[in-house]
Amino acid sequence: MAEFSIEPLAEDALLLRFGDGIDIATNARVHAAARAVRAAKLPGIIDVAPAYSTLLLRFDAFARPDKNGLDERPHARLAEILHALLRGANPKTLDPGLRREDDQENAVALREGARLVEIPVCYGGEYGPDLEAVAVHAGLSPDAVVARHAAGDYSVAMLGFAPGFPYLLGLDPALHAPRRTDPRTRVPAGSVAIGGAQTGIYPRELPGGWNLIGRTPLPLFDPRREPPALLAAGDRVRFRAIDVDGFARLAGRPA
């Protein structure tokens, strides 16, 4: 059985909590629960938003009215349904009581079938001005940092900070690097960065304090596109190193 708590977050929202902190196995259970809720097509559910260790559900409080035309216990009724739904799910999918040494294996298994998105990245130079600093911090050459970063198999833990910004888990521990002490007021759109134990991609020009190691020409967020965000929570991501000419071609401008 999966252990999780449910708490009211607003008059039309519940928060399911599967743990605390940044943990790949806990995050995998969050996404498994999100898939189960979506597949169940529960009446009145408006939005399912996964984060690192929590799952936010927004719902229509009037979707299940009682005989008086108003459900006076919308939070409790939905919580009862969720407990029945998720506690009846496959234990390997949701049970956080699994042995710690199995966490990585089970997290990988849960990601099977997830969409895989390849992101081309031009590393270093004007596109990755902090690559050298990350290399020094890691005690590696810049080429080794690029090789390790591009070799990773990442998962989108959540979208946040700005529309379309993916927080990616799976960064090689050797590449973990503290955020900059002097955040930039302007980070170019498409910048691929490292902040602590995570890597991410800035979807548009934004302020930021992560270490910039490269840039992708792919638009991460376009409000005219459906869906607007290139990546979704639960997706798998792999990076592919490209050169400056390749960046220019993919960006649709002369090399």
How many helices (H) and strands (E) would you count in the chain?
Answer: 7, 13
Q: What is the mean pLDDT of residues 63-82?
A: 68
Residues 153/238, Cβ–Cβ less than 8 Å: yes
Using DSSP's 3-state secondary structure scheme, residue 90 falls into coil
Task: Identify which of 34, 4, 214 has the alpha carbon closest to the alpha carbon of residue 125.
Answer: 214
User: 130-181 pLDDT, tens per residue?
Assistant: 999 999 999 999 999 999 999 999 999 999 999 999 999 999 999 999 999 9
Q: Where are the alpha helices (DSSP H) in the chain?
A: 24-40, 74-87, 91-94, 103-110, 131-138, 142-151, 244-251
Structural domains in the chain, CATH included, are 5-110 (3.30.1360.40), 116-251 (2.40.100.10)
User: 192-227 pLDDT, tens per residue?
Assistant: 999 999 999 999 999 999 999 999 999 999 999 999
Token couple for 34: 């999100």
pTM for this model (two decimals): 0.80
CA distance 2 to 151: 33
Phi and psi at 73, nearest 5°, equal -130, 50
User: 245-254 pLDDT, tens per residue?
Assistant: 999 999 986 5
User: 101-143 pLDDT, tens per residue?
Assistant: 344 444 444 455 679 999 999 999 999 999 999 999 999 999 9
CA distance 208 to 206: 6
* Most confident of the following: 17-21, 49-53, 134-138: 134-138
**% the chain with pLDDT above 90:** 69
Burial class (CB in 10 A: 0-12, 13-18, 19+), 162: middle
Give the distance from CA 196 to its chain's centroid. Answer: 15
- Position 71, amino acid: D
Q: How many CB atoms lie within 10 A of CB 32?
A: 25
CA distance 117 to 248: 20
Phi and psi at 83, nearest 5°, equal -60, -45
Instruction: Using alpha carbons, list the distances in angstroms from residue 211 to 73, 136, 156, 241.
Output: 47, 12, 19, 17
Looking at the DSSP assignment, which residues form a beta bridge with residue 194?
199, 211
Residues 152/231, Cβ–Cβ less than 8 Å: no
